[in-house]
């Protein structure tokens, strides 16, 4: 197992090295101008400049905070409503048409509306992230609640378990794997939601820097911001994976490598 991991890690690093080498020398060999596709070294140099001149870390911290808040709020609301709808088919029947309409509506279209309501603050970005994160968590939890083993539920009822006890001891534990699957998806969507909000009406954050560098025609700066956003997304995703492995350590699938 250890040898297999080392081999996998070696080939992964080899692919990364090949990609960076192609990025560094490929555009020049293909005659692509630097303002269209700058080499990797130029992007690194621009990253050093932006770090000090444009306060890259400060803007990245703001975007990270917005992503975390939007992810937590959206996931909490999605899980709460998913459990509620799954536990009460009547409430689901009443609310499902409205939830479906909200799900079909393009989430990014709400960003200008939130900016008009709340101004150029962090709140519109967080709201867009909440709206995008909400549905994957809701759908996963609701689907898992619907697919709860009926035999386990009937067994709990045979022991005179209350509705709350059935939820706590049967439904909630069995929905945790589906919940974490939704959280994995939501962790990356939260970054998208925040960036959309910053692109529409931001004066802080990486989305603002993205628009700023695009206006300057600074392609290398745009690549730096994209790289920073990718790092935030990867960290958010693996934070969920780490939490999943700690919570669902008793499941065999929780110990398998993430691919």
Mind spelling out the 3-state secondary structure of the chain? CHHHHHHHHHHHHHHHHHHHHHHHHHHHHCCCCCCCCCCHHHHHHHHHHHHHHCCHHHHHHHHHHHHHHHHHHHHHHHHHHHHHHHHCHHHHHHHHHHHHHHHHCCHHHHHHHHHHHHCCCCHHHHHHHHHHHHHHHHHHHHHHHHCCCHHHHHHHHHCCCCHHHHHHHHHHHHHHHHHHHHHHHHHHHHHHHHHHHHHHHCCCCHHHHHHHHHHHCCHHHHHHHHHHHHHHHHHHHHHHHHHHHHHCCCCHHHHCCCC
Is 198 within the bounds of a domain?
yes
Evaluate if residue 8 carries a pLDDT over 60: yes
What's the pLDDT tens digit per position in 32-69?
888 888 999 999 999 999 888 888 899 999 999 999 99
Where residue 255 falls among pLDDT bands split at 50, 70, 90?
very low
What's the pLDDT tens digit per position in 182-215?
999 999 999 999 999 888 877 888 999 999 998 8
Is 123 within the bounds of a domain?
yes
Where residue 1 falls among pLDDT bands split at 50, 70, 90?
low
- Lowest-confidence region among 134-138, 149-153, 238-242: 149-153
- Lowest-confidence region among 13-27, 66-80, 129-143, 238-252: 238-252
Is 134 within the bounds of a domain?
yes
Is 196 within the bounds of a domain?
yes
Say which CATH number the domain at 79 has: 1.10.3720.10
The pTM is what? Answer: 0.87
Is 225 within the bounds of a domain?
yes
- Tokens 């939704």 appear where? 182
Is 24 within the bounds of a domain?
no
Counting the structural domains of the chain, the total is 1
Where residue 81 falls among pLDDT bands split at 50, 70, 90?
very high
Is 9 within the bounds of a domain?
no
Is 4 within the bounds of a domain?
no
Domain that holds residue 219: 43-255
């Amino acid at each position: 197992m250890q040898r297999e991991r080392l081999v996998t890690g070696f080939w992964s690093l080899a692919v990364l090295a090949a990609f960076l080498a192609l990025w560094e020398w490929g555009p020049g060999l293909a005659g692509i101008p630097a303002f269209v596709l700058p080499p990797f070294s130029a992007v690194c140099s621009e990253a050093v400049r932006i770090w000090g001149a444009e306060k890259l870390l400060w803007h990245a911290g703001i975007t990270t905070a917005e992503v975390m808040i939007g992810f937590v709020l959206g996931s909490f609301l999605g899980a709460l409503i998913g459990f509620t709808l799954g536990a009460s088919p009547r409430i689901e029947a009443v609310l499902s048409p409205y939830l479906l309409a909200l799900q079909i509506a393009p989430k990014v279209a709400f960003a200008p509306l939130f900016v008009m309501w709340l101004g150029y603050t962090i709140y519109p970005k967080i709201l867009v992230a909440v709206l995008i994160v909400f549905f994957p968590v809701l759908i996963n939890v609701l689907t898992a609640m619907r697919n709860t083993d009926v035999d386990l539920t009937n067994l709990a009822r045979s022991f005179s378990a209350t509705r709350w006890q059935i939820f706590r001891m049967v439904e909630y534990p069995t929905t945790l794997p589906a919940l974490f699957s939704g959280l994995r998806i939501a962790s990356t969507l939260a970054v998208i939601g925040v960036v959309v909000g910053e692109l529409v009406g931001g004066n802080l954050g990486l989305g603002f820097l993205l628009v700023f560098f695009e206006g300057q025609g600074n392609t290398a700066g745009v690549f730096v911001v994209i790289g920073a956003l990718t790092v935030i997304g990867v960290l958010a995703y693996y934070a969920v994976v780490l939490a999943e492995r700690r919570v669902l350590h008793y499941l065999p699938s929780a110990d398998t490598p993430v691919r």
